[in-house]
Structures are given as C-alpha cells and as structure tokens.
Amino acid sequence: MKTDIEIARAARLSPIVEIAAKLGIPEEALSLYGRHIAKVDPERFDGVRRPTGKLVLVTAISPTPAGEGKTTTTVGLGDGLTRLGRRAAIALREPSLGPCFGMKGGAAGGGMAQVAPMEAINLHFTGDFHAIGAANNLLSAMLDNHLYWGNELGIDLRRIFWRRALDMNDRGLREIVSSLGGVSNGFPREDGFDITVASEVMAVFCLAIDLADLERRLGAIVVAQTRDKSPVTAADLKAAGAMTVLLRDAFAPNLVQTLEGTPAFVHGGPFANIAHGCNSLIATRTALDLADIVVTEAGFGADLGAEKFFDIKCRQGGLTPSAVVLVATVRALKMHGGAERRDLGREDLGALGRGFANLDRHLANLKRFGLPIVVAVNRFETDTAAELAAVVAHCRAHGVEAHGCDHWAEGGAGAIDLAEAVARTVDLPRSGSHFRTLYADEVSLVDKIRTIAQDIYGAGTVEFAPRAKELLAEWQAVGHGHLPVCMAKTQYSFSTDPAKLGAPEGHRVAVREVRLSAGAGFIVAICGDVMTMPGLPRHPAAEQIRIGEDGFTVGLF
C-alpha cells in the first residue's frame, strides 16, 4: 500500500490558475509560488463575488492514538460535494513544523483525501509561519531595546508578559533568562518561548479582516505593565507598523487543491488545545464569497476546536455556520470504551457501546449551539459490519444522521453519502438560523470559564490559582470583561487529565494561569499541565525524516 506522500507525488495536479478559475478568481489576483500554489489578493476580484456561501464545520470526538481523521474528512467531503456538482471549497489551517517533526507527522490529510502539494504544505509552504514568528520576535526585540535605552515608558521588569516564539517543539526554551553577558546586552530578566502557533500574533493574524485591522490588533497587544499596572502595548513601543509590514504578504490567503482538484484555502494555524484552533478569518470569508458551500475544520475534539470556532471566530467574524459534521471512528470509540490499542482490530461491541459516552457528550455539546449535526464514521479496514451498524443505529436513536465514509481509500467517491446528507442539510431554508454562542458578551470572565468547564467539559468544580483570579478581576474592572475565553487544556480528555477517556463527570478544572490577548480579542485560560511550548517525544518523527536516494523526502508521513 502506498504511503500518503507517495500518493501525493503520483497525483496529477492542475495548474493553480485553473483551480482559481473554478471559483472565478482571475489570474491577476494571484501571486504564484510555482505551478501549484498561489497567494490570493481578495481586493482584486470584487467583480466575481457571489452571495455568501453556506459554511460547514468539521469537528470530532476526543482524539485518541487510534485516529479520527478530521482533515481527511474535510477534504473527502469537499471532493464529494464537488462530485455532486456543487461549487465547493475547503478551508484548512497550515501545518506547524513542531508536530510534523514531533509525533503527529504531516497535516495535509491522507490517502486519497489530501491537499497538495503535500510536502510544500507540510514544510515551509509560502513562509507564513516564518513571517509570524519574525513579527512576534521583532516585538520582543523592540521591547528589550526600549528597556536598554532608558525605559521611557516606565515598564516594570517584573510585569513583562510578552514571550518569544519558535515554530518547533523545544522544551528547553519554555523558561529562560535573557540578556546575560554584561551591560551591553541589556537587563537580564526571565523570559520564554511559545510555539509560533500559540503566539498572539498568530491569533491576531487569523482573526483580522484586513491589513488596517491587522495593524490595529497588533498595536493593541499588551506586552507589559508599568509599576502602577498601566498597560504597555505594541503601539506604545511603535512596533505595530513594522510588524504589519512583515505580515503583509503572508496575510493573503494561500490557494492549493485537493487531489481531485477541489479548491482549498490553507492559511494560518493556531493550535486548538492552546489557542483558538481555526484557519484565518480572511481565508474563510474569501472562500464564502466565491463558493456555494465551504467546508472548514477546527482542531482537536469539539470541546476545544468547535467551541472556540463558535464562541471566538464566529463571534468576532460575524459568521453563521449552517451545519456541523462530527467525525468519529469505531477504533477511537472502542478506546474511549476501555479497549487497549493492540486490540482495536478485533470486534468489540461492548467497548464500542461504552465509548458512545464520548460521542454522546460531543453531540449534546454541539446541540447547545443550535446547529444541525451529521456524523461521519470514518472507516478503517478492521471495522466490522456489526460495529458500523451499531454506530449508525446509536446516532439515529439520538436523532442524528450518520454515514460511513471511505474517503481515505476512495477520495470523494467514498464520501458521497456524507456529501448528500450535508447538501440536504444546508439547503434547508432555515439551516443555521438557530445558531447561538454558548454565553453572552456581558457574562463575567470567571463565569465564562465556569460555563465552558461545567457545561462543555462536565466539570464539577473550577479552581483558580490566586494570581489568575486576581488578573481576571483586574481585567474585568478595566473593561476587558466582554471578551470571550480561549481555554487551553489537554485535547485527549474532557477533563484536564489526558488519561481520563470517555466522558468523565464531576472532575476538577484547575486554571493555573491566565493571559490577556487584547489584540486577538480574547482571554486565554491555561488549565492543568498543558504547555504553550510542546516538547518532543522520546522518538520524534524527525528521526525518520531524510532525503532518499531518489532525492525525495521520506518519513514525513
């Protein structure tokens, strides 16, 4: 059986100008990166805009090592809709180098349901992440430079919040001391790095609607406080303009294609366990202006990615999704039901039935947002007919349509039933009309955190570290109380303990730290042991990645 990268290399891709033409994008609106990648300038095709398309979110049950397949399902669904004659496009996040060289491997889909060119997308692509890291670290450099040259703003060195960024897993950089080496190197202080996808610059990049909004949001980033606790922003450091210049070219959405030629916008990439987990708003809006149906995804399980998609991205971007696709697999459900990974290839209706608790919690959570749901059962070759039938019947008993999918093996043809169900759903006159967010703007920051933890995670209690509680009260008092909350926690469980699979209830959610992302427009609540700079596993994927004798990369996936 061919690997994903072998399948991608064997594919015959269309020139990107032809893919753009499917959406009515003129060639003069494209900046070409070779034959198969382009940046799109949304300001240069006003004449071809169409009525806003229907937006479909793909999310999933809680992830397990057994695999769920949100990206492959997003791609397969997009290709299935195209096969039905619908003017479809997909919108995905860009992969981070950290997971690609860590434990996850590539993030461009898999099998016959991929976006391409796979190697370029998984590696440097169009340089967007490098630009975001550079903008982040320019702000760091200007902050330290300001301190060196007299600290005119009166920044309190004990109250500096801004951290540097690197798009690689490196636990050794989580907490550091900078500016060592003497007077000429500045004032030594505690510092640290986040992975680029957790940077506020990434969040700003993905939520800004145009370059003016991008510069405004960058300027609003709070980097530190003075001794009287007054905020010091990137605008105060006169950094926002230069940061915007670094991001200008990156800010244009990237256009690529699926293996079947469906247009795909791949742009931005915040993680969903430590950031808001959605591709850029400008890419989503561009796709909606040009396609009848746009399929997008939000990272990790629905408790993380979907909640943030609804409560942060849709709230800030004025988006009204029409439907949700919840991806599940028999294998993952059996793991949530207590089956060992080595036993997942054997039929086990008992473990599957126990695993339905995880599926049911996600279905109940998604129903809180008022949208119709379709379940995609992403098939593996070891799934038995009885297991698949049990999942479909269980969903039907809960009033939800479910369809088995074979897009990994068959591409769009393997997702036709799912595509037909989604098309029927979004074509309903009132699809999406009951969409609502989980909480109102005026709810306090503390109560927003409690609402997510108790209503979505099933927590019994929420505990705040003293400093976290103090900061939330401070931000509430100075006018940030209307902001939504971005929860940072493990993706593997509804709780903050990654070992608690299924649907744990009554657990404790400990908020150990909070961060103000004033430019992005949300508050980050860091829970449990989650890290904003991941580490590499004992045997990282990088150990197997190399250039083969034929000159091609091997081991990337």
Q: Which of 93, 313, 334, 489 is catalytic?
A: 93
Q: Which of 9, 83, 87, 104 is catalytic?
A: 104
Q: Is 408 a catalytic residue?
A: yes
Neighbours of 456 (CB within 10 A): 23
E-state strands within 186-337: 189-191, 193-195, 222-226, 231-233, 254-258, 263-266, 293-297, 323-328
Q: Which of 20, 38, 272, 453 is catalytic?
A: 272
Nearest-angstrom CA–CA distance, 16 and 22: 10
Q: Which of 369, 380, 464, 557 is catalytic?
A: 380
Q: Is 300 a catalytic residue?
A: yes
Nearest-angstrom CA–CA distance, 267 and 253: 6
**How far is C-alpha 447 from the chain's CA centre?**
24
Q: Which amino acid is at 299?
A: G
**How far is C-alpha 152 from the chain's CA centre?**
38
Q: Which of 45, 271, 300, 557 is catalytic?
A: 300
Nearest-angstrom CA–CA distance, 246 and 130: 10
Q: Which of 59, 64, 71, 72 is catalytic?
A: 72
Alpha-carbon Rg for the chain, nearest whole angstrom, is: 23
Nearest-angstrom CA–CA distance, 533 and 174: 6
Q: Which of 142, 274, 124 is nearest to 218 (CA)?
A: 142
Q: Which of 22, 39, 54, 70 is catalytic?
A: 70
Q: Is 70 a catalytic residue?
A: yes
Q: Is 72 a catalytic residue?
A: yes
Q: Do strands 164-166 and 193-195 pair parallel, antiparallel, or not at all (unpaired)?
A: parallel
Q: Is 181 helix (H, G, I), strand (E, B) or coil?
A: coil
CA angle at 277 for the pair 537 and 104, rounded to the nearest 5°: 25
Q: Which of 265, 408, 494, 557 is catalytic?
A: 408
Q: Is 187 a catalytic residue?
A: no
Nearest-angstrom CA–CA distance, 332 and 330: 6
Q: Which amino acid is at 355?
A: G
Q: Is 272 a catalytic residue?
A: yes
3-state secondary structure labels for all residues of 128-155: HHHHHHHHHHHHHHHHHHHHHCCCCCCE
CA count, 13 A, side-chain hemisphere, 265:
35
Longest dimension (CA), the chain: 72
* H helix and E strand count, the chain: 19, 25
Q: Which residues are catalytic?
A: 70, 72, 93, 104, 272, 300, 380, 408
